[in-house]
C-alpha cells in the first residue's frame, strides 16, 4: 500500500509523478500564494481551491497514489459511480476538454470483458437523445474501459430517495422519454433487460438518458454469444424483472422492457417497488402475484393512468403493450405537450414510415377525445410491430411531421405594453429619439442575409394572420399588441440601468423549427427574444428552475446550431445608453454537459461591440462584457449556445447592465450567484 505524503515536498513529488500538472503550471500556481503551505493537506486544499486539482485527485494523492489518473487521452477528475463490475469516473479529454464518463472494469476476467464488449457493441448501434452515447472502448495494459457521454444529473432512484415519490406528471414525462428511447432500441433489434430507476439518468435540463447496455441482447443478430454468459440464469434486477426474465424464458423481447418500465413507474409514484421480500420471493411474485393497483393505493390517482401501468405490468407478454411507442400513446393524456418526447420520437424510424400520417391522425384523435381522468381500456392485443405516436398535442406532432423539411429562421417574442415607462421602472424615452418609436416593429437586419429565409412573426400567427417578413423575425413588435410587463427593475445601488428578473415569467418549454415555435402561443416578456438564425437550425428554449435559480435555457437540437437568447436594450427597453460611453454587461450562466458559447453586445448591423466567451464549468458562473456604445447605432445583447445536442444546454439566470464603476467584482459575483469573484473579459 502506498504511503501517504508526510510533508509538502512529498506531496509535490507525487503531483509531478502523476502528470496531472506540468512543472510550469505547478510553479505558477505556487508562486501566487503569499506563504508556502504548512502541510500536505493545506497544499492540497489550496490546489483544489485554485482549480489546479479536483477534490477526488487531491484525495487520491493524499493517500499516496500517483498512478491511474490517466486513461489514454483522458484525465480522471472524479469517481461518480461504483458497481459490481467496476467504477465509473468523470474524465476530461486532455486536448478537446470534453467531459466524458469512463466505465472501468475492476476485473479482467473473460466473462466481464465479454459483457463490456457486448455493452459497447449495443451502445454503438444506437443513436438516440434518450440513450447515453458511446464514444470508444479501449484498454490500457490490463485495464479495460468504455468512454461514454457524460450526463450531468442524477439517477431516478436517487431522485426518489432524496425527494420522495414523484408527481404523476413528472413520472409520466420520464416514463415516456424512456419509452421513446426503448422504441429506438426496439427498432434496432435490442432489448435492454435491465430497465430500472438506477439505470435512468435525469440530466439537469430534464432529459432522461438510459444507461448500462451491459445486459442488452439482440436476438435477431444471429451471434453465437447473443445470450452471453447469462444463458439459463435470470438476468435483470429482482425489483423490476419481468416474469419471463425471472423464468429465464428463451424468447424475451421488448415487452420485457415494457414490464420493467411499468415497475419503474410504480416506484417513481409510490416510492418503493411493486413487491417486497428477498430476491427469491420477488422473482416468484413477479411471476404469480398481481401488483397493487395505484388507484387502490391512492384513490386520488387517475384510474386511467393506473390502468395503463397495470397493463404494462401484465404477467403475459401478449397482455402488455406491443411496443414502447404504444406505451407513449397510452401515457399521452397525462402529458403536457412535452417537446422532449416529441423530439425523442422524431429520432425513431416510426416518424419516417409511410403510414405515419394515418397513425398520427388516429393517435391525435384518440388522445384529444380521452379524458385524463377516464379509465383507459386494458384489452388483450396480439403482439405485432405496429407503431404509434404519442398524442402529445397537434402542435407538437406537427413538429415531428416537418422533420427534414426545416426551412429557416424562427423566433418567439413579446410585444410591448401601451406604455413601457408606466409598466416598469424604466426611464421614459428620450424625446430626441422619439422618431425611432416605430423602429422596434421593423425586421432587424440579419448578419448574413444569405442564410435567412422568410418567417412568420409569432404575434401575427397568434392573431390568426400570416404576415411574411422580408428577412428575420422581428424581436420586438408594435405597441398595439398586448404583452406582459418587462421583467426589469433598478438595482439597490441605483447605478444599474437594467436587471433581468425572471421570477414573474412562467416556466415554458418550446422548440423553434421551420420558423415556428411549438407550442405556438407562448410569448416572452417585452424586450426579450429567442431564435435560431441559421438556415435549417432547430433550437429548444425553456424557462425552468435549476440549481436554485430561475433560468432560461438555450439548446441546439441539430448541427446547424445558432440558438440565441437576446435582449433588445434600446429599441425595445428604451434604456438610456449614452453614445461613446463605456458600460458593463454581467451575465450569470450555467452550462449543462458540454454547453459553451458566448455573450456578445452587437450593434444594429449585427457587428460585435463587445464579447465574452462562455466555457463549460461546474456551477453558476459569471461572464462580463465591457463595451462602448457606438455613436450611430443602438445595441442589443445576445447569448448564443455553440454546442450541439439535447443535453448541452446553456442557462442564463441574470443580466445586469451598468457603468463599469457601479459595483465591485465581489458584489457583482454575489449578485449573480458565483462565489469568489467575477470573470472579467
Nearest to 292 by CA among 277, 280, 316, 309: 309
Cβ neighbours of residue 93 closer than 8 Å, sequence gap 6 or more? 73, 74, 100
Helix (H) or strand (E) run with residue 530 in it: strand 528-532
Per-residue pLDDT of 616-653, as tens digits, reads 888 889 899 998 988 888 888 999 999 988 778 999 99
As given in the structure block, the three cell numbers for residue 304 are: 386511467
What pLDDT does residue 17 have? 92
Provide the pLDDT confidence category of residue 365 given band limits of 50, 70 and 90: very low
What pLDDT does residue 255 have? 96
Per-residue pLDDT of 300-323, as tens digits, reads 999 999 999 999 999 999 999 999
What pLDDT does residue 291 have? 95
Provide the pLDDT confidence category of residue 387 given band limits of 50, 70 and 90: very low
Give yes or no for a contact between 131 and 185, defined as CB atoms under 8 angstroms apart: yes
Provide mean pLDDT across the span 569-591. Answer: 82
Provide the pLDDT confidence category of residue 48 given band limits of 50, 70 and 90: very high
Report which listed range, 18-32, 100-114, 451-465, is most confident.
18-32
pLDDT over 80 at 524, yes or no = no
pLDDT over 70 at 266, yes or no = yes
pLDDT over 60 at 537, yes or no = yes
pTM of this prediction exceeds 0.75: no
What domains, with CATH codes, occur in the chain?
8-149 (3.30.200.20), 153-401 (1.10.510.10), 410-680 (2.60.120.260)
pLDDT over 80 at 122, yes or no = no
Between 298 and 577, whose confidence is greater? 298
CA–CA dist 327, 286 (Å, integer)? 20
Provide the pLDDT confidence category of residue 389 given band limits of 50, 70 and 90: very low
Q: Is 209 annotated as a binding residue?
A: no
Per-residue pLDDT of 319-361, as tens digits, reads 999 999 999 989 988 887 677 887 788 888 877 666 544 444 4
Provide the pLDDT confidence category of residue 605 given band limits of 50, 70 and 90: confident
Question: How many beta carbons lie within 10 A of that of residue 323, not counting itself?
Answer: 25
Q: Which long-range contacts (CB under 8 A, 24 or more apart) does 521-525 make?
A: 521/462, 522/412, 523/412, 523/413, 523/414, 523/415, 523/458, 523/459, 523/462, 523/483, 523/484, 524/412, 524/413, 524/414, 525/414, 525/483, 525/484, 525/485, 525/486, 525/487
Give yes or no for a contact between 652 and 565, defined as CB atoms under 8 angstroms apart: yes
What does the DSSP assignment read for 287-313? HH-PPPPHHHH-TTS-HHHHHHHHHHT
As given in the structure block, the three cell numbers for residue 19 are: 502528470
Percent of the chain with pLDDT over 90: 35
What does the DSSP assignment read for 70-107? EETTEEEEEEEEE-SSEEEEEEEETTT--EEEEEEES-
Our CA angle for 110, 111, 112, nearest 5°, is 95
CA–CA dist 578, 9 (Å, integer)? 56
What pLDDT does residue 45 have? 92
Per-residue pLDDT of 57-99, as tens digits, reads 999 999 999 888 999 999 999 998 887 677 899 999 988 888 9
Give yes or no for a contact between 508 and 528, defined as CB atoms under 8 angstroms apart: no
Provide mean pLDDT across the span 185-206. Answer: 92
Whether omega before 519 lies within 30 degrees of 0, making that bond cis, reads: yes
Per-residue pLDDT of 198-210, as tens digits, reads 999 999 889 999 9
What pLDDT does residue 218 have? 63
What pLDDT does residue 577 have? 84
As given in the structure block, the three cell numbers for residue 520 are: 405556438
As given in the structure block, the three cell numbers for residue 62 are: 493524499
Provide the pLDDT confidence category of residue 677 given band limits of 50, 70 and 90: very low
The Cα-based distances of 176 to 169, 318, 666 in angstroms read: 11, 21, 44
Q: Give me the chain's average pLDDT, please.
A: 74
Question: How many beta carbons lie within 10 A of that of residue 354, not counting itself?
Answer: 6
Burial string for 593-607 (b: 16+ CB within 10 Å, else e) reads bbbbbbbbbbbbebe
What does the DSSP assignment read for 633-656? --EEEEEEE---STT--EEEEEEE
CA–CA dist 304, 310 (Å, integer)? 10
Amino acid at each position: 500500500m502506498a504511503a501517504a505524503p508526510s510533508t509538502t515536498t512529498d506531496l509535490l513529488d507525487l503531483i509531478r509523478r502523476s502528470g496531472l500538472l506540468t512543472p510550469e503550471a505547478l510553479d505558477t500556481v505556487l508562486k501566487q500564494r503569499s506563504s508556502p503551505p504548512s502541510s500536505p493537506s493545506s497544499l492540497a486544499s489550496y490546489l483544489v481551491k485554485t482549480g489546479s486539482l479536483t477534490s477526488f485527485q487531491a484525495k487520491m494523492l493524499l493517500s499516496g497514489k500517483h498512478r491511474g489518473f490517466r486513461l489514454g487521452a483522458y484525465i480522471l477528475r472524479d469517481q461518480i459511480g461504483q458497481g459490481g463490475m467496476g467504477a465509473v469516473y468523470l474524465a476530461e479529454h486532455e486536448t478537446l476538454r470534453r467531459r466524458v464518463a469512463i466505465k472501468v472494469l475492476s476485473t479482467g476476467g473473460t466473462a466481464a470483458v465479454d459483457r463490456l464488449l457486448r455493452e459497447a457493441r449495443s451502445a454503438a448501434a444506437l443513436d438516440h437523445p434518450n440513450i447515453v452515447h458511446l464514444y470508444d472502448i479501449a484498454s490500457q495494459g490490463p485495464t479495460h474501459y468504455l468512454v461514454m457521454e457524460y450526463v450531468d444529473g442524477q439517477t431516478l432512484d436517487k431522485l426518489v430517495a432524496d425527494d420522495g415519490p414523484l408527481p404523476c406528471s413528472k413520472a409520466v414525462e420520464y416514463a415516456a422519454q424512456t419509452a421513446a428511447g426503448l422504441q429506438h432500441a426496439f427498432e434496432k433489434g435490442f432489448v435492454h433487460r435491465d430497465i430500472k430507476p438506477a439505470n435512468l439518468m435525469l440530466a439537469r435540463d430534464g432529459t432522461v438518458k438510459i444507461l448500462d447496455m451491459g445486459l442488452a441482447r439482440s436476438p435477431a443478430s444471429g451471434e453465437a454469444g447473443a445470450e452471453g454468459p447469462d444463458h439459463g440464469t435470470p438476468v435483470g434486477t429482482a425489483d423490476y424483472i419481468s416474469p419471463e426474465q425471472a423464468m429465464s424464458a428463451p424468447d424475451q423481447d421488448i415487452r420485457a422492457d415494457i414490464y420493467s418500465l411499468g415497475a419503474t413507474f410504480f416506484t417513481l409514484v409510490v416510492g418503493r417497488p411493486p413487491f417486497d421480500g428477498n430476491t427469491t420471493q420477488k422473482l416468484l411474485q413477479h411471476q404469480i402475484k398481481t401488483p397493487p393497483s395505484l388507484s387502490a393505493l391512492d384513490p386520488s390517482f387517475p384510474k386511467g393512468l393506473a390502468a395503463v401501468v397495470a397493463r404494462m405490468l401484465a404477467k403475459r407478454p401478449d397482455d402488455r403493450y406491443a411496443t414502447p411507442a404504444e406505451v407513449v400513446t397510452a401515457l399521452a393524456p397525462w402529458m403536457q405537450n412535452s417537446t422532449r418526447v416529441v423530439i425523442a420520437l422524431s429520432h425513431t424510424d416510426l416518424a419516417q414510415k409511410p403510414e405515419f400520417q394515418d397513425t398520427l391522425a388516429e393517435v391525435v384523435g384518440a388522445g384529444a377525445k380521452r379524458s385524463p381522468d377516464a379509465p383507459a381500456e386494458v384489452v388483450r392485443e396480439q403482439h405485432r410491430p405496429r407503431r404509434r405516436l404519442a398524442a402529445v398535442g397537434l402542435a407538437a406532432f406537427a413538429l415531428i411531421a416537418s422533420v427534414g423539411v426545416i426551412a429557416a429562421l424562427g423566433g418567439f417574442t413579446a410585444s410591448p405594453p401601451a406604455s413601457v415607462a408606466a409598466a416598469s421602472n424604466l426611464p421614459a424615452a428620450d424625446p430626441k429619439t422619439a422618431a425611432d418609436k416605430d423602429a422596434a416593429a421593423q425586421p432587424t437586419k440579419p448578419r448574413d442575409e444569405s442564410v435567412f429565409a422568410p418567417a412568420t412573426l409569432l404575434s401575427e400567427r397568434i392573431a390568426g394572420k400570416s404576415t411574411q417578413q422580408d428577412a428575420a423575425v422581428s424581436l420586438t413588435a408594435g405597441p398595439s399588441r398586448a404583452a406582459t410587463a418587462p421583467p426589469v427593475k433598478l438595482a439597490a445601488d441605483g447605478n444599474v440601468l437594467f436587471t433581468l428578473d425572471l421570477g414573474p415569467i412562467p416556466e415554458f418549454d418550446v422548440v423553434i423549427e421551420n420558423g415556428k415555435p411549438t407550442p405556438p402561443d407562448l410569448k416572452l416578456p417585452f424586450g426579450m427574444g429567442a431564435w435560431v438564425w441559421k438556415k435549417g437550425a432547430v433550437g429548444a428554449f425553456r424557462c425552468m428552475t435549476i440549481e436554485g435559480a430561475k433560468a432560461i435555457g438555450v439548446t441546439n437540437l441539430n448541427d446547424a446550431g445558432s440558438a440565441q437568447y437576446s435582449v433588445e436594450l434600446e429599441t425595445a427597453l428604451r434604456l438610456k445608453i449614452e453614445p461613446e460611453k463605456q458600460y458593463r454587461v454581467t451575465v450569470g450562466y450555467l452550462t449543462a454537459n458540454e454547453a459553451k458559447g458566448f455573450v456578445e453586445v452587437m450593434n444594429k448591423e449585427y457587428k460585435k461591440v463587445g464579447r465574452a466567451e462562455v466555457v463549460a464549468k461546474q456551477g453558476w458562473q459569471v461572464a462580463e462584457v465591457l463595451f462602448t456604445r457606438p455613436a450611430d447605432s443602438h445595441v442589443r445583447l445576445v447569448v448564443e449556445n455553440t454546442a450541439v445536442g439535447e443535453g448541452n444546454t446553456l442557462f442564463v439566470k441574470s443580466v445586469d447592465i451598468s457603468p463599469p464603476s457601479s459595483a465591485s467584482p465581489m458584489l457583482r459575483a454575489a449578485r449573480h450567484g458565483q462565489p469568489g469573484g467575477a470573470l472579467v473579459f
